[in-house]
Chain A
Amino acid sequence: MTTYYSEDHEWINVESGVGTVGITDYAQNALGDIVFVEVPEVGDELAKGDEVAVVESVKAASEIYSPVTGEITAVNEDLEDNASLVNSSAGGDGWFFKISISDDSELEGLMDADGYKTFTAGLE
C-alpha cells in the first residue's frame, strides 16, 4: 500500500487498484472545526480534478477535488454523524471515499510523504 499526496492537501492510499482518499492533517488544521462533509455517491464517475466532495468548517466551505480518475466504490458513512473525525483522525477514520483507479499513470503526478512535507514547509 502506498500513500500519495496532492497539492490540494488530499492523501490517497492505493491498494489493489483502489484508492482511499481523505484530507491531510495540515488541511484539517487550517480549516478549523469541521461541521459537515458532503461525500459523493457510490457509483459516481469522476475525472481527475473534478469536484468530488465538500468540507464545511465553522469558517468556510471548501471543495475537494478527485486526485485520480475513477468510480466511487465506497463512502465513509460515519462522517454524517461525526464530521469531527476529520479533525481527530484526518489520515485514518476521517477518510472520505474509496475510488477505483482507472489510470495508474495519474499517480505519478502526485507527491510522496517526503515530497508533501517539503511542500507544506514551503507554504509557511
Chain B
Amino acid sequence: MRYLPLSTDDRAEMLAKICVENINDLFVDVPNHALLKGLVDLPNHMTEMEVEQNFEAYSAKSVAAGSVPFFVGAGAYRHHVPASVDYQIQRGEYLTAYTPYQPEISQGTLQTLYEFQSQVAQITGMDVANASMYDGSTACGEAALMACRVTRKKRIIVSGNLHPHYIDVVKNLTKFTDGVVVDNDPTLNKPENLIDQVDDDTACVIVQNPDFFGNINDFSDLADALHERKKLLVIVNTEVVALGAIKSPGEMGADIVVGEGQSIGNGLNYGGPYVGLFATRQKYVRQMPGRLCGETTDADGKRGFVLTLSTREQHIRREKATSNICTNAGLCTLAFTIHMTLLGEKGYRHLAQLNHAGTVKLKNKLAGIDGLEVLNETFFNEFTVRLSNNAAEVVETLVENDVIAGLPVSRLYPDRPELNNILIIAVTETTSEDDMDILVAELKEVLK
C-alpha cells in the first residue's frame, strides 16, 4: 500500500462530505492556549550520513553501562543476554507478529506465551501466570487493584521498602478508585511491622523481596497472619534472577506475585520497554488482569493454544473488566522466554549463584574502607551502604573518573535528607574483579 499525501482538492472534498467549512472547526474542543500556532521549529532534512553523525554525537554525551565499571541496580539490572536471543527475536515471524486474537494463525506466538506463563509460574512458585504486563511497577499497581476486588476491601498497606517508583504507581493507579494506600517510611535494613497496621478494611499488604535496599526476608509468617484475617499478601520482585536462589514467593504463601522480568533476555533499554510478571493462585484467576494463554484441543482433537478467560478483559466486560490493559509485552516477553529456555533450571540457578558470589566478593572488598558501612545482613546481588559523605556527590565524582558507583538513594527520595548518605550497589555476572577493584580504589580515594 502506497502512502500519498492529500491534495487540497482531497481535503475540500472530505470537508464538504462531513459538512464542515474549515478544518479548524474540528478542534473547537481544544482549549485555545493548548493549540499550536504555526509550525513546529524542526531542523531541515539531512542526509543519512549527517543523521548518523548527529546521533553519534548525542550518544557520545552518555556513558553506556557496559563501557565502564557499573554498579547501578535498584529495579533494573545489567545482565548478559546471549546473542542467540536477539538472533531469534529478530526473525520476521516473531518480530512483526501481532496480537494473537486469531488462534488459527497465531499458534507460534501463543505457544511461546504458554511457555512463558509456565516459566513464570514455576519460578514464582504460583499456580498461574499471565502473558505479561507492561512492567513490574504497573503489575504491582494492578495487584493492588486485584486485591481490593477479591477482598472487597479498600486499604492497601505498602511496605516502606518497596521500590519508590512502584509505590508511586500504586498510588497513581488507585487514585480514582475507592482504594486507599497506606504507605510506610523506608526502614533500610531494619525490620518492619506491617501486620499491626492490618484492620478489617484492609485488602492486602504489599512487600518486596529482595527489597529496595537488597534485604531478603521470609514472609511466610506474614502470609499466615494475613490469611487468618482473610487478607491477601502481594510479594513484589524486581530482580528475577534472585528467584534462582532464594525461597520463592509462592512457597512463602503469597496470593499474588508481581515482578520485573527485565533481567532475563532484556537489556536496560534506557528504562523500558520491560516485562511485567504477574502470577496468582488458581482460585483468583478470574480476577487476574492481562492476557491469559490457555491450552486446548481443536475440532480434530489436536493440541492447540488460545487466549482464554477473555471475560476478564475490557473488550468483553468493558467497565467491569479486571483492567484496561489489552496487550502484553510481546517481544520482551519472547526474549525472556528464549533466554530462560537457553538457561534451563540448571543455568538459571548457576546464574543466580554467580550473581550472589560476585556480590559477596565485593562486599568483602569494601569492608575496612573508612567512611563506608555496609548495612545489610542479607542480600542477593544488591546491598546498601552508608557513606561518610553525600552519596550523590560521591557518585558524581566517580563518574568523572569513569566509574558508575551505584544509586544514591536521594535520587529517588529527594525529600528525605536522612538518606543523603545512602548508596545502593548492585553486582551481576557482568561485573569483573577488575571493576570491583577500581570501585574500591575510587571509593577509598574520595572518602578519605
Contact = CB atoms under 8 A, between A and B. Distances in A.
Partners in one complex: yes
Interface of A: 36, 38, 56, 60-61, 63
Contacts of B46: none
A63 B316 CA distance: 12
Contacts, number: 11
Contact of A36 (B286, B316, B317, B320): B286
B311 interface: yes
A61 B317 contact: yes
Interface in B302-320: 311, 316-317, 320
B286 A60 contact: no
Given A36-B311, A56-B311, A61-B317, 8 more contacts: A36-B286, A38-B286, A60-B311, A60-B316, A61-B311, A61-B316, A61-B320, A63-B320
A2 B316 CA distance: 36
B294 to A, nearest CB: 12
Interface residues of B, number: 5
A56 B317 CA distance: 10
B299 to A, nearest CB: 14
B103 to A, nearest CB: 14
Contacts of B286: 36, 38
11 contacts: A36-B286, A36-B311, A38-B286, A56-B311, A60-B311, A60-B316, A61-B311, A61-B316, A61-B317, A61-B320, A63-B320
Which of B311, B316, B317 has the most C-beta atoms of chain A within 10 angstroms of its own C-beta?
A: B311
Interface in B274-294: 286
A56 B313 CA distance: 13
B138 to A, nearest CB: 24
Contacts of B320: 61, 63
For the complex of A and B, 5 pairs with smallest distance between CB atoms: A61-B311, A56-B311, A61-B317, A61-B316, A60-B316
A72 B28 CA distance: 51
B203 to A, nearest CB: 16
Contacts of A60: 311, 316
Nearest to B317: A61
A67 B269 CA distance: 55
B152 to A, nearest CB: 8
Interface string B235-255: 000000000000000000000
Contacts of B311: 36, 56, 60-61
A36 B320 CA distance: 16
B308 to A, nearest CB: 10
B282 to A, nearest CB: 12
A60 B316 CA distance: 7
A43 to B, nearest CB: 12
